[in-house]
Every structure is written in structure tokens, then in C-alpha cells.
Amino acid sequence: MKKIFMDFDGVIVNSRKAYCDTYAQLYANCENYEHPNWRDSQEWNLEITCPLAKEDLFCHDLFFWDLEFMSGAKQKLETILNDFDIIICSIGYYDNISKKSQWIKHKLPAIKKSIFINHGNNHMNKSIVDMRDSIIVDDVSNNLHHSNAEIKICFGDEFVWNKDWEGIRCYNWSELYKELMKYKE
């Protein structure tokens, strides 16, 4: 069974929306508050879109309460599990990673394998994970460029963090499902 190393944020879940929803709940009553629009944001950490945030909202409990699957992700993941070994591979800080693992445990109990990389002050890619003879699906081109995966798929719309990707791109879960089915054994 072929392995798929699947990114979490921006591929399985809509982290940018959850971040903006959390920000709105925490800062809506503050002076100079403007409601954030996650669809228009062009920065991965949302610091320009959500300028009043004084903490890392990716680690906040409300973030995980608001976290939703990308459209079609849950259903397609459950189907893909019949043909592929899915390993969630995600980068974050310790607080984020621990809460992320609990979210996966409760929302995706059929996925039993995850690799979490502590961001710390390290380089921001997944090159430390051996993905030889497998598929990587990620929304960050840096992760794709530095991976040794056989097949590399960029997921989602073009943003600053992936606009340089010239390989396979799937804009949604329907396209991703069709692409992955080409590689089932």
C-alpha cells in the first residue's frame, strides 16, 4: 500500500479561517478592531490580517474549537484510506502540536499515524522525514521542494508560500482525490 504524507493545516483543515474566527471572538470589542477576511489574506501567519493578536492563536483552545475540515476533506480521506496508508505530517510549536494531535484523535480516528515536527527556530520544511517511494500533499512549496517523495502535489490556491510551485497542483479535494487515484496500487 502506497504511503501519503498529508499536511494538516491548509490541506485537511482550514486553519486560516479558524485563526480569523478565533481572532474575531477574542478581539472584536477592542479599539481599532477590523473584522478579518481569511479569503483575502496573503500571509500564512495572518499577522497583517489580524494585527491586534497578542498571542499565537494557532495554539489557542478556541482555534481548535473553530477548526473545520476543508470542503470535502473528511469524506475523501475516509475513502482514500481504503487504498493508501495516510500519515499526517505537520509542523507547529509544542502547544499547537499537542492540541492538533488531540483534534486528529477525535475527528479522524481512522488515521493512526502522524508525524509532528516542532518548528522551534528551525528551518520550515519537512526534509527530516524520509518520504521515499511515497506521495506528499502539502500547501507549502518549500515542503514539496525539500521532500524526497516520489510524487509531490501542491494543494489549494496560489499564495505567497506556494506560487513558485510548477508541479502537480490540486485546487480542491475533488481534484486531489482524482489525482491520488492514479497512483493506487
Confidence at residue 117, expressed as pLDDT on a 0 to 100 scale: 92
Query: DSSP 3-state assignment of 22?
Result: helix
Predicted structure pTM score:
0.93
Confidence at residue 121, expressed as pLDDT on a 0 to 100 scale: 63
Burial 137-163 (b: 16+ CB within 10 A, else e): bbbbbbbbebbebebbbbbbeebebbe
61 backbone dihedrals φ, ψ, rounded to 5°: -60, -40
Confidence at residue 27, expressed as pLDDT on a 0 to 100 scale: 92
Across the 185 residues of the chain, what is the mean pLDDT of every consecutive 10-residue run? 94 95 93 85 78 89 95 95 96 93 96 90 79 97 95 94 95 98 90
Superfamily name and number for 2-14+67-181:
HAD superfamily/HAD-like (3.40.50.1000)
| Distance from C-alpha of 51 to C-alpha of 32, rounded to nearest angstrom | 10
Question: Do β-strands 113-118 and 168-170 pair in parallel, antiparallel, or remain unpaired?
Answer: unpaired
| Distance from C-alpha of 87 to C-alpha of 102, rounded to nearest angstrom | 15
Distance of CA 9 to the CA centre of its chain: 2
Q: Can you point out the beta strands (E) in the chain?
A: 2-6, 84-92, 113-118, 135-138, 151-155, 168-170
**Residue boundaries of the structural domains of the chain:** 2-14+67-181, 15-66
